Structure 1
Amino acid sequence: MKILTQIIVLTLFFSPQFNLAQIKDSKLDLYSEKKMKKAQVIGMQLGYLKKDGKTWIGSYGEANSETGQKVNDSTLFMIASCSKPITALAILKLYNDGKLDLDLDINTYLPFKITNPHSPEKSITARMLLSHTSSIKDNWEILDPLYTIDSGGDSPIALLDFISDYFLKNGEYYDRNENFFNEQPSKYWEYSNMGYALLGLLIEQVSKKSFSVYMEEDIFEPLEMNHSYWFLKDILTENIARPHSLPENKNESIKVLKHYGFPDFPDGQLRTTVKDYLKFIQLILNNGKIKDKQFIDKEIIELFYTVQYPEINKYQAISWNYNEFENFLYYVLMRRLPSHTGGDPGVATVVTYDPKNKIAAVVFMNSPPVTFKGGKILYLDLPKKLLKESKK
């Protein structure tokens, strides 16, 4: 079990001297640190994956600006919505194993019935949830106050309870107009965090395991992602990047936030390292194989980055999006690739990869840039540079 592995390797793995990078590149270190300082962010971990499977990882700045704790290659980062592709992988694994059908009504698997009240006769499917076409709406008047920013720690609300309270008519958080779009499922695209929270419950119901246990036993352990966690309570190390809120004007100061959680955690609460995340990307680029073993069928992995409803959104694949940066200028300067970004209080992340050339780039920050220059560095300069270096 992972807990025993943690105890055995904890001292070594989380030592600042423990270097996970396979490739040394002092010029790229200088470039990355310079860009981090120009973006005015607190700490950063980033890396790339080459076609031959080798990786480069760089870590810079502070995990905690109050204590001066430095970021190293073993520092865990909360990655916000870059968690979604890993939740999607779990659904695809259940599909691969014949336990879930992407195109069946989700109520086939749920303990209660969920429909859009504006079109109750239309089924919602896992494929729709995966591609943000389910017509499920994020009600931020409900979701924002449930972040444990003030108290810190994991949310005390169980996933099943939260889902039922959000989607069922007698639920505490139910609102037919704010929780659902008027459009029919599969006929409208809108990014949906709650759709991915619902996928988390599907994973629990189909696997007969809690979400975090299924992810640990059936996803993280086979991929050797030994330093990836959904809940703070499961983390034994203090080597976790604290989220930071940067000042937007000179009269404000940097705020070091508590480690927090939220009840819709399958959509964005993963804490992991760039090294672990690149193992997940390598699975995709290796056509579903772990070393020489087929973990998930090649056809299903290819489905992962295939646009699902081109008549609705020509860029949206399963979780990944080919227009993730939503800036036309960026796509003049670099190719459209399956990508994902993440943003939460004190968190900013980017993942992009090239299935054809089998390369990838990952950037984790513990403070979202607040300037245009900072945003350009995060979403264009660093991913573009990493992908270029990964081709060498």
Structure 2
Amino acid sequence: MISCNSTPLDQYIIDKKNQAGIIGIQAGYVGPDGNEWHGSYGFRNYKTGEVVNDSTLFMIASSAKPVTALAILKLHDEGKLNLDDDINRYIPFSVVNPHNPSNFITFRMLLSHTSTIQDNWEVLDPLYTIEEGGDSPLALSDFVQDYLTISGDYYNPKKNFYKETPGQYWSYSNMGYALLGYAVEEISGLSFSEYMNQEIFEPLGMMNSYWFLSNIPHQNIARPHQLPDEEDKDITPKMLPHYGYPGFPDGQLRTTTKDYLKFVKLIVDGGRINGNQFISEDLIKQYHTIQYPSVHQYQAISFNYNEFEDWMYYLFMRRLPSHTGGDPGVASVVSFDPEQKTAAIVFVNSPPNTLIGEKTFYLDLPRRLLNEAAK
């Protein structure tokens, strides 16, 4: 079912969008019987007035991580790796926490943010092509090696690794997912983008999902916008160029709610596509299974039961496996209920920057969508 902006749900989303000052938005849900709904509202470009439609691509930032994780789970399912293997068995250079060199890093640790690989934003921030726009000129393989090995240009043992022992300490790691993307390349013999297209997107029917701007065959892409601060005299949103960064498997995916719903349906339907088993049900359950309970009581593979990190949020919302994403000018939120087999997703091209806006985006919209899905 596709929205035509005429239902109570459409009007609710439009009202909330206007209240929060959001420029463009896509939203969707999956119901327990497999039914889907998605709607598109607002502008993909504030200045030109070009509107968002159901084919408009949104950059979803870290909500791409669960999609990247699916590649690793699929390779495990095919016997090409084991989640508890040392990552160094599959890549041509050695990745070691210099503070704990005798403790190896596994795929499961990377997937659950317990690898002790740290995001050094003094390195990562300047590598965004936010000024010039376009994809990053740095190859994933070169970037990962330069960041994680002693001879690398970006290596810093104090700032690139935590002092704690791998598997015994939790801290969110974008670079962990960049390393996973590189491992996919080494194991499959394909570029990460090629592997995802052939082995994930095509089988799932995600035919409007892309990792690189250079691969997108159309211009229907939601432009990133930064909303003005409340005290800012300039009330016009700032438009940003379409940009990229070298560790792209951690968040550079541009997709639609229509496509992403196919991915979350795979999860809530136990790894099946149209009734056929695409990946084992036991593996797909890892998305909502706590991985290291003694280290982090809420962290599953990619998804986190405490994603919103605000006790007040959970006064109004059930604690569900969720993922959010945020990069300059873009934001996303995904929540699913493994018991009811429902899911909700929201993408925007203008991250909320007020308490009302954040409540609208992270609480009101997902809650309403999940309630609608369960009807």
Normalized against structure 1, the TM-score is what?
0.94
> Identity percentage over the alignment?
59
Q: Which residue of structure 1 aligns with residue 288 of structure 2?
A: 305
d(CA) in 2 for partners of 1:286 and 1:23? 27
Q: Secondary structure at the match of 2:113?
A: coil
d(CA) in 1 for partners of 2:233 and 2:251? 31
Q: Which residue of structure 2 aligns with residue 228 of structure 1?
A: 209
Q: Which residue of structure 2 aligns with residue 14 of structure 1?
A: none
d(CA) in 2 for partners of 1:290 and 1:302? 15
Q: Is the 8 A contact 1:23 1:55 kept in 2?
A: no
1:251 correspondence with 2:233: yes
d(CA) in 2 for partners of 1:192 and 1:323? 16
1:62 correspondence with 2:43: yes
Q: Which residue of structure 1 aligns with residue 101 of structure 2?
A: 120
1:180 correspondence with 2:161: yes
Which moved further from structure 2: 212-221 or 328-337?
328-337
d(CA) in 2 for partners of 1:245 and 1:289? 38
1:207 correspondence with 2:188: yes
Distance 1:23 1:357, change over 3 A: farther
Q: Which residue of structure 1 aligns with residue 274 of structure 2?
A: 291
Q: Once the 2 structures are TM-superposed, how far is the Cα of residue 24 of structure 1 from its aligned partner?
A: 7.8
Distance 1:358 1:290, change over 3 A: same
Normalized against structure 2, the TM-score is what?
0.98
Q: Which residue of structure 2 aligns with residue 9 of structure 1?
A: none
Give ranges in structure 1 of 5+ residues lacking alignment.
1-19
d(CA) in 2 for partners of 1:370 and 1:154? 26
Q: Once the 2 structures are TM-superposed, how far is the Cα of residue 23 of structure 1 from its aligned partner?
A: 9.0
Q: Once the 2 structures are TM-superposed, how far is the Cα of residue 391 of structure 1 from its aligned partner?
A: 1.1
The count of corresponding residues between Structure 1 and Structure 2 is 373
Q: Once the 2 structures are TM-superposed, how far is the Cα of residue 250 of structure 1 from its aligned partner?
A: 2.5
Q: Once the 2 structures are TM-superposed, how far is the Cα of residue 349 of structure 1 from its aligned partner?
A: 0.4
Q: Secondary structure at the match of 2:157?
A: coil
CA-based RMSD: 1.1
d(CA) in 2 for partners of 1:186 and 1:275? 36
Distance 1:287 1:24, change over 3 A: farther
Q: Which residue of structure 2 aligns with residue 348 of structure 1?
A: 331
Q: Deviations over 1:50-97 (max 9, x none)?
A: 112111111111000111100111110000000000000110000000
Q: Deviations over 1:196-232 (max 9, x none)?
A: 0000011111111100000000000000000000000
Q: Deviations over 1:36-59 (max 9, x none)?
A: 011111110001111121111111
* Aligned structure 1 segments of 4 or more residues deviating by more than 4 angstroms: 22-25
Q: Once the 2 structures are TM-superposed, how far is the Cα of residue 22 of structure 1 from its aligned partner?
A: 7.4
The one-letter code sitting in structure 2 at the alignment partner of 1:78 is M
The one-letter code sitting in structure 1 at the alignment partner of 2:233 is N
Q: Deviations over 1:343-381 (max 9, x none)?
A: 000011000011111111000000000100000001100
Distance 1:360 1:25, change over 3 A: farther
Q: Deviations over 1:228-277 (max 9, x none)?
A: 00000110111100000111132244211100000000000000000100
Give ranges in structure 2 of 5+ residues lacking alignment.
none
Q: Once the 2 structures are TM-superposed, how far is the Cα of residue 300 of structure 1 from its aligned partner?
A: 0.6
Which moved further from structure 2: 226-235 or 249-258?
249-258
Q: Is the 8 A contact 1:22 1:54 kept in 2?
A: no
* Match among 61, 69, 89 for residue 108 of structure 1: 89
d(CA) in 2 for partners of 1:212 and 1:194? 17
Q: Which residue of structure 2 aligns with residue 273 of structure 1?
A: 256
